Structure 1
Amino acid sequence: MRQNLTVEEALEVILEQAQPLSETEELPLAQAYGRILAQDLASKVNHPDQDDTSLDGYAARAEDTLGATPENPVRLKVIGQAPAGQPFPGEVGPGEAVWIFTGAPIPKGANAILRVEDTRREGDTVLFFKPANPGDIRRRGDDFRVGEVLLKKGDLLTPGRVGICAAMGYPRVSVFARPRVGVLTTGDEVVEPGEPLPYGGVYNANNYSIAALVSEAGGEPILMGKIPDQPERLREKLEGVGKLDLLLTTGGVSMGEYDIVRQLLEREGRIHFWKVRLQPGGPLLFAEWGGLPILGLPGNPVSSMVTFFLFGRPYLFRALSRTDAPYSVLEATAATPFSPNPSKVAYRRAVLTSGPGGLQVHTTGNQSSGVLRSMAVGNALVVLEAGIGAEVGQKVRVIPLGFAL
C-alpha cells in the first residue's frame, strides 16, 4: 500500500483506474442539458440556409443608395414586405426597396440593407438617409455548413450547445449514461436531518453535500445512508451494493480504532494508496472491493468536499470522456493574508471577486475542516505550497469552485 503521496501522484493513480464508460442513452433535446455527448455531431443544414438580414430595415440595391445623407436622402419605392418566414416573392429593381425583418431571406435583386432607424417611411416610398450596407446581410452558411462537426464526443451540453444541436437539425442526441456513484456515510455519531440530535451527535451533511457534488460533476448519486462504526455492517453494505461505477465513503479512513473503512479494506480489499500530503483531507484513501473502485473521503465535511472536488470530480470526468477540464487554476491577488501548512499543500477556502484591479481573493475566515460554512460562502480554493503563505498584495494560485459560481 502506497502512503503519503503528493496530490499529483494521487491524482495520477486515480485517473489510471478511471475507465471510460461505454453505456449511452438517447434523449430528446429538451432533456439533454447538462449531459455529456456520446458522439461527434455534424450539421445537417447550412446556417443560415440562405442569405438573410441581420436587422429590421429595407432591402435595396446598394448602387441606388450611394451618396444618401440626412440632407440629401434617396427616395425609393416600397414594393412589398418580407417578414421572417414569409419571403418576398418578387424581385427588387432599380429605385425599389422591400421592407424586411430580421431573419427574412434577401429578396432577389437586392444586395444591401439599411436599418429602419436610418429611414423614414412616406406612404408607398421610403427615404434613405445613409447608403444601404451589404455587411448587414448574413450569408448562407456563414455560421456553419452542412457536414461541419461542431460538437465532439465528450462535450458538456451547455445551453448554447443545446441550441447548436437544434440549429443543426437534431431533435434527439446520444449521451453517456450517468455514472452510478454510491454515497455512504460512516460514524456512530451521524444522525439524519430532522431526527432529534443527541448529545455528541452531528447531522449527516456529508451525505447530501457529496451527492450534490456528484450530480454537478455528471454522476447519478445513489444515497446509501449511513452505517455505524462496525466492520460487519460495512461488509454487508459492500456485499449488497449492486451495480455501481464508483463508491464514495465519508469517514472511517484515518488512524483511529473506529476507522472501519481503512481497516476492512486493508484486510479484504486492495488499497491503491492511503494518505495524501494536503490540507484539508490528508487521510484520503483509494481502493477496490471486488473490482468496485472506492474513494474513501475524510469525515470532516470540508475535507470530504475538497477532496471530492480535487480527486472524485476528475475521476468522473475521465469516466465520462469529458473534453472539458475538471477544474482550472487562475492567478489572483490576495486581499487578505493566507497562512501555510508547514509540511503539506494547503487549500484555503476563499471568495474570488473581479474588480478594476483584476481578480482578487479573500479568506472565508476560520479554515478548520469542520467549518462547513466556508464551503457555503466560498467560491474558490487558494493553493499554497508547503511552508509558503501569502500576504496582502501577493499573487496566489486559485482554483475556482465551479459548482459555487
Structure 2
Amino acid sequence: MRTNLSVEEALSLVLEGARGELGVEELPLGEAYGRVLAEDLASLVDHPDQDDTAIDGYACREADTLLASPERPVRLRVIGEAPAGKPFLGEVGQGEAVAVYTGAPIPRGADAVIRVEDTRREGAYVLLLAPASPKDIRPKGDDLRRGEVYLRRGDLLTPGRLGLAAAMGHPRVRVYRRPRVGILSTGDEVVEPGEPLPYGGVYNSNAYSLLGLVLEAGGEPVLLGKVPDSPEAVMAKLEEAGHLDLLLTSGGVSMGEYDVVRKVLEEKGEVVFWKVRQQPGGPLLFARLGGLPVLGLPGNPVSSMVTFFLYGRPFLFRLLKRTEPPYGTLKARAETPFRGAKGKKVFRRGVLSLAQGPSVRTTGNQSSGVLRSMAFGNALVVLPPDQDAREGEEVEVIPLTFVP
C-alpha cells in the first residue's frame, strides 16, 4: 500500500483503476439526452440538401439588379413564391423574381437573393432598391455533408448535439451504459433525514451530495444506506450491493479506532493507496475489493464532495470514454486572501465571477464541515503546497460544474 501521495500521483492511480468495459445500449433519440455516445455518428444527408435562402426576400438573377438603388429601382416580375418545404418548380428568367422565405430552395435560374426590406411590392411586380447578392444563399452541404462524421464516440449528448444527431437523420443512437456507483455511508452517528436526531448525531448529507455528483458526472447512483462502525456490517452490505462499477464509501477511512472501512479493505481487499497530501480530503483511500474499485471518501461533507469531484468524476469520465476533460482550470484575480497549508496542495472554496475579468472571493469559513461552502461556492481555488494567495494576486481556479 502506498501512502502520503501527491494529488497528481493519486489521480494517476485512480485513473489506472478505471479499466472496466461498460456495456452499450441503443436508445431512441428522445431518451438519449445526457448520455455518452458509444460510436461515431456520420451524417446520413446533406444539409441543406440543395442551395437555399438564409433570408426572406426575392430570388432573382444578380445581373438584372446590379444598377438598383432607391433613386433608380429595378422592376422585376414576380412569377411565384417558395415557402420553406414548398419549392418553386419553375425557372427564373431575365427580369423575373420568385418570393422566397428562409430555408426555401433557390429556384433554377436564380443566383442571388435580395432582402424583403430592400424591396417594395407593386402588384405582380417587385421594385428592388438595392442589388441582389449571392451571399445570402446557403450552398448545399453548408452545415452537414453526407458521410462526414460530426459526433464522436465519447461525446456527451447535450441539447445541441441531440439536435445535430437528429439533423443528420439518426432516430436512434448507441450509448454507453451508465456506470453503477454504490454509495455507502458509515458511522453510528449518521441518521437519515426525517428521523429524530440524537445527541451527537448527524444527518446523512453525504449520501445525497454524492448522489447528485454521480448523476451529474453521468453515473447511476445506487444508495446502499448506512452501516454502523462494524467490519461485519460493512462486509454484509457490500455483498448485498450487486454489480457495481465503482463503490463510494463515506467516512471510516481515517486513523481512528472506529474507521472500519480502511480496516476491512486492508484485510479483505487490496488498498492501492491511503492518504493524499491535500486539504481538504487528505485521508482519501483507493482500493479494490474482489475486482470492485472502491473510493473511500472522508466523512466530512466538504472533503467528501471535493475528493469525489477531483477523483471520482475523472474515474467515471475514463470509464465512459468521455472526449472532454472532467474539469478545467482558469486564472482569476483573488478578491480576498486565501491561506495555504504546509506540505499540502489546498482547494479552497470560492465564488468565481466573470463579469469584469475572472475574479474570485472566499465563501467564508473554510472548515471541511461547512457544507454551505459547497452549496453556494462555484469554484475551487488551488494553492500549491506552502503557498498563500494575497488579495490582488492571480490564482488557479477550478470551476465547479454542478453549481449554476
Matching of residues 96-245 of structure 1 within 5 Å: 96-245=96-245
Matching of residues 355-394 of structure 1 within 5 Å: 355-356=355-356, 358-394=357-393
More displaced stretch, 296-305 vs 11-20: 11-20
CA deviation profile, 1:21-69 (whole Å, cap 9, x unmatched)? 2401001101111100000111111111110001111111111110211
Per the TM alignment, residue 237 of structure 1 is displaced from its structure 2 partner at its CA by: 1.0
State the SS of the aligned residue for 2:339.
coil
Contact 1:20 1:321 in 2 (8 A): no
Match of residue 281 from structure 2: 281
Letter in 1 for 2:225: G
Inter-partner Cα distance in structure 2 for 1:206 and 1:216: 15
State the SS of the aligned residue for 1:365.
coil
Match of residue 253 from structure 1: 253
State the SS of the aligned residue for 1:197.
coil
Letter in 1 for 2:399: P
Contact 2:349 2:377 in 1 (8 A): yes
Per the TM alignment, residue 355 of structure 1 is displaced from its structure 2 partner at its CA by: 2.2
Contact 1:270 1:289 in 2 (8 A): yes
CA deviation profile, 1:129-179 (whole Å, cap 9, x unmatched)? 111110100000111211101111111111111111001110000000000
Inter-partner Cα distance in structure 1 for 2:114 and 2:298: 65
State the SS of the aligned residue for 1:404.
coil
State the SS of the aligned residue for 1:114.
strand
Matching of residues 332-371 of structure 1 within 5 Å: 332-356=332-356, 358-371=357-370
State the SS of the aligned residue for 1:109.
coil
Output the TM-score relative to the length of structure 2. 0.99
Contact 1:338 1:389 in 2 (8 A): yes
**Corresponding position: 1:329 with 2:329:** yes
Match of residue 95 from structure 1: 95
Aligned residue pairs total 404
State the SS of the aligned residue for 2:396.
strand
Match of residue 269 from structure 1: 269
Per the TM alignment, residue 116 of structure 1 is displaced from its structure 2 partner at its CA by: 1.0
State the SS of the aligned residue for 1:366.
coil
State the SS of the aligned residue for 2:49.
coil
Per the TM alignment, residue 20 of structure 1 is displaced from its structure 2 partner at its CA by: 4.6
Contact 2:22 2:179 in 1 (8 A): no
Inter-partner Cα distance in structure 2 for 1:29 and 1:268: 43
CA deviation profile, 1:180-227 (whole Å, cap 9, x unmatched)? 000001111111111111111111110011011001101000010111
Contact 1:180 1:220 in 2 (8 A): yes
Note the residue ranges of structure 1 that are not aligned, 5 or more in a row: none
Letter in 1 for 2:265: L
Contact 1:56 1:101 in 2 (8 A): yes
Match of residue 399 from structure 2: 400
Output the TM-score relative to the length of structure 1. 0.98
CA deviation profile, 1:281-300 (whole Å, cap 9, x unmatched)? 00000011111110000000
Q: How large is the RMSD of aligned CA atoms in angstroms? A: 0.9
Inter-partner Cα distance in structure 2 for 1:382 and 1:118: 54
Letter in 2 for 1:361: V
Contact 2:20 2:245 in 1 (8 A): no
Letter in 1 for 2:325: A
The percent identity for this pair of structures is 67
Q: Which runs of 4+ in 1 moved over 3 A?
A: none
Match of residue 16 from structure 1: 16
CA deviation profile, 1:58-105 (whole Å, cap 9, x unmatched)? 111111110211222111111111000000011111111111000000
Matching of residues 282-321 of structure 1 within 5 Å: 282-321=282-321
Inter-partner Cα distance in structure 1 for 2:128 and 2:30: 44
Inter-partner Cα distance in structure 2 for 1:175 and 1:372: 34
More displaced stretch, 116-125 vs 53-62: 116-125
CA deviation profile, 1:329-362 (whole Å, cap 9, x unmatched)? 1111111111111221000001111123x11111
Inter-partner Cα distance in structure 1 for 2:403 and 2:22: 30
Contact 1:24 1:174 in 2 (8 A): yes
Inter-partner Cα distance in structure 1 for 2:205 and 2:27: 33
Match of residue 58 from structure 2: 58
Inter-partner Cα distance in structure 1 for 2:367 and 2:64: 74
State the SS of the aligned residue for 1:98.
strand
More displaced stretch, 230-239 vs 171-180: 230-239
State the SS of the aligned residue for 2:402.
helix
Letter in 2 for 1:401: L
Contact 1:21 1:176 in 2 (8 A): no
Contact 2:22 2:319 in 1 (8 A): no
Note the residue ranges of structure 2 that are not aligned, 5 or more in a row: none
Contact 1:20 1:318 in 2 (8 A): no
